[in-house]
Structure 1
């Protein structure tokens, strides 16, 4: 493996911190911003779309868990693909994962802005300026925090994520007493096949556990804690999503949710939640939770996108400056700033529905490659140390590939055109940078067993 000069990553994140990075990214704009849009597509069957997406993403999460334990390096899916594929394939993977996280960042920033404005309206305040200004401000603020300290951004992610889980727990607790199961009869009001495009739109809500793998070298005992964090984050998120969507549809109804759009969950809360001290109405509490949820999701993708750029810079597939940690702050400063630029541009020019579809499509493509990387690594290195192994191999990664391909086919053609356009841009960048002295794709790196890391006390063998 090639490594550029500069400070090495600092181990500063615990198992809880790593798990919260995944949950923080998944329980964010997806549940607050996309629920109403999904119901608009598939009616009450939106809950089926969320459930099926949970199953689909679990296949790939298991693949990530095995690869992360076997290859404990920053960069997530890019790092794994770099081990088993040629340099051009690895570049495509890194290029698309980097873009996915950055475009997802714009989705979360826009979701934050709409919920922040709604939060002001609940208290009778008309906030000055267009919502996009608040989205831009959120990106700039979190970029600054991440540039100064990984530990501070990780600890902040943990605190905010625990808070929003508690708020959604209150929403579910009150909502279960008010939800009407009759709102789901009939379930497929828009036809059974309408579930598939709804899955394509909301799949971005299940992207996030993969961000855990991008900070592997900054997590304590990564060969044990990274697989645990990935699987814990998926399990918690799927359970929370299903309860929240059930309550939202069961109280506000499919038509009401579809009309509410990006603030659907907050509007659903108005009908059944009581008034709370200090915060006020239930809608205010949910709007408050939505603000923090989208902020934590944005923070998570700022972390993840910069680590992919860092890994590509360290592997000399992007400028070497991206692959260095700042000597003073101990963060990949240049990679963070480069990621921020794309997020800011996307916030300004890309509509939120297109952002959601584009991020979902690139996630699906990336997950297909990661599942195949697991199969290829098993064949090429059967004796590689694997502290965690995917159950029911090879059925699990094959199902992951098949399901992700099927979902990708139901994403609209315009999104595919944009995706192909970004790949063409990436091809041009690859050819241009490969001619520079500080950038150059090497051949496939020699695959070696990672140095053994002692499991934590009490951990399973």
Structure 2
């Protein structure tokens, strides 16, 4: 239960707490957040949930999901302003709850970010093949082309991250700007084809599902439901997956100028902007076509074809490819920073915390992350396991919300660049909202998550517990060979 002292969470105890160059400014953090929160799902998730779960009430689902994520974002903002470190929720937990819990959160973040990179890379390859075919180019049947594309995108983006934060940031600005233009075109053109009658009554009568209960909540109730208020809240749980990613902005704190002020602003602004953009696309989606006629497979593209604007399909394809490209890039950046923090604390091999003298980035751990992502995307059916990404994230959300309440009581003297208003009420609401989202995940997801965490605890007992720097107080503070000192 040993805890990391707050003064050492952002200090020079390990010789590396501030060895990452400061490259991010407030506007960069907003782009970082939009880069990971707005992917290809913006063109599909509203239609999918409207057609199968919530009807026109999906608009309310987006609002509910946005509010739930905003509560979590406020909690992240306070802790990030107090401890501006690249470890994010892992380091917060280390200081507040202790090493064992920090390891558990770090292990959950590894699950979230590593699986997410593989899942999105696989989806990126499938969407890219579809976009090529929409331009009239014949693609050979089978998975070979997709396998090659997965390898290419992961090698390329891993290289971009390894070459330095500035290189990745420039690429991110270009791609995020381009995909926002594509989304803007979707909204502007779509608005001209909205039929107000398609919104109808937001509240569609509930319907009992014939399928066996799949989620924890459905299992407790004994049956599944769609539409009605149950459907609206169920859709909100699925939609929350689209907003996840603002927490990765917190991993950039160590590389941000005036982080205690800039990081909270960057997270909150990016989440609010993403929520507004998702709502705008959802309004266009539901307004263009009655929810009963939406195709769950290609909702937005099908809607534009239905109103005779076929050329918008190509705009959607380009936006989706760019959207997923930026998501992969930011996921690799976030995973790199979390593992970097765990390595320099000694919980995983410290050699992974080496910073390249030439590129001033944790190149070694970046290459490891890229290699693991390639193996997962190529040889594991990751698309069937994407809820593991969500449960890992929500698990960290719960600890961050609880952490705000506990830290206010235990460490009221710490300087905070941002404070959650109405604490402890809002952090408590964040915790409740997070638990609600978690019970809407599949029972099978919980089972896989339990196995992953049990394996992680075993790894900690075998390696991390003994190699932790807190277990070796006389360990020299100098960084491993090759580490860059500013």
Secondary structure of the 2:357 match is coil
2:269 to 229, 232, 240: 232
2:436 to 383, 388, 406: 406
Q: Residue 268 and residue 141 in structure 1: after superposition, are their counterparts in 2 closer, same or farther (change >3 A)?
A: farther
Confirm or deny that 1:424 pairs with 2:454: yes
Confirm or deny that 1:12 pairs with 2:38: no
Secondary structure of the 1:434 match is helix
- Tell me if structure 1 keeps the 8 A contact 2:295–2:302: no
Q: Distance in 2 between matches of 1:83 and 1:146?
A: 28
Alignment of 1:326-337 (within 5 A): 326-337=356-367
Q: Residue 421 and residue 257 in structure 1: after superposition, are their counterparts in 2 closer, same or farther (change >3 A)?
A: farther
Task: Find the structure with the greater CA-based Rg.
Answer: 2
Q: Residue 221 and residue 83 in structure 1: after superposition, are their counterparts in 2 closer, same or farther (change >3 A)?
A: same
Partner of 1:440: 468
Confirm or deny that 1:142 pairs with 2:157: yes
Secondary structure of the 1:215 match is helix
Alignment of 1:85-234 (within 5 A): 85-128=97-140, 129-187=144-202, 188=204, 190-191=226-227, 192-234=229-271
The one-character-per-residue Cα deviations of 1:117-161 (angstroms, maximum 9, x if unpaired) are: 221122101234443432332122101110112111012112211
Secondary structure of the 1:259 match is coil
Q: Residue 265 and residue 139 in structure 1: after superposition, are their counterparts in 2 closer, same or farther (change >3 A)?
A: farther
- Tell me if structure 2 keeps the 8 A contact 1:117–1:126: no
The one-character-per-residue Cα deviations of 1:44-102 (angstroms, maximum 9, x if unpaired) are: 23333222110000001111111111111112111211111110100011111122112
Deviates more, 1:30-39 or 1:169-178: 30-39
Partner of 2:222: none
Q: Residue 5 and residue 403 in structure 1: after superposition, are their counterparts in 2 closer, same or farther (change >3 A)?
A: closer
Q: Distance in 1 between matches of 2:107 and 2:44?
A: 26
Q: Distance in 1 between matches of 2:147 and 2:161?
A: 21
Deviates more, 1:297-306 or 1:96-105: 96-105
Deviation at 1:5, TM superposition (A): 5.9
Partner of 2:477: none
The one-character-per-residue Cα deviations of 1:258-309 (angstroms, maximum 9, x if unpaired) are: 432xx4333333345857xxxxx11101111111011011111111011110
Partner of 1:62: 74
- Tell me if structure 2 keeps the 8 A contact 1:174–1:273: no
Q: Distance in 2 between matches of 1:312 and 1:372?
A: 21
- Tell me if structure 2 keeps the 8 A contact 1:21–1:208: no
Partner of 2:299: 264
- Tell me if structure 2 keeps the 8 A contact 1:7–1:325: no
Deviation at 1:326, TM superposition (A): 1.6
Gapped regions of structure 2 (runs ≥ 5): 1-7, 206-225, 474-486
Q: Distance in 1 between matches of 2:35 and 2:104?
A: 26
Query: What is the Cα-based RMSD across aligned positions, in Å?
Result: 2.3
Please give the TM-score of this superposition, normalised by the length of structure 2. 0.84
Deviation at 1:19, TM superposition (A): 1.2
Q: Distance in 1 between matches of 2:248 and 2:424?
A: 24
Across the two proteins, how many residue pairs are aligned to each other?
435
Deviates more, 1:193-202 or 1:206-215: 193-202
Partner of 1:77: 89
Q: Distance in 1 between matches of 2:36 and 2:425?
A: 28
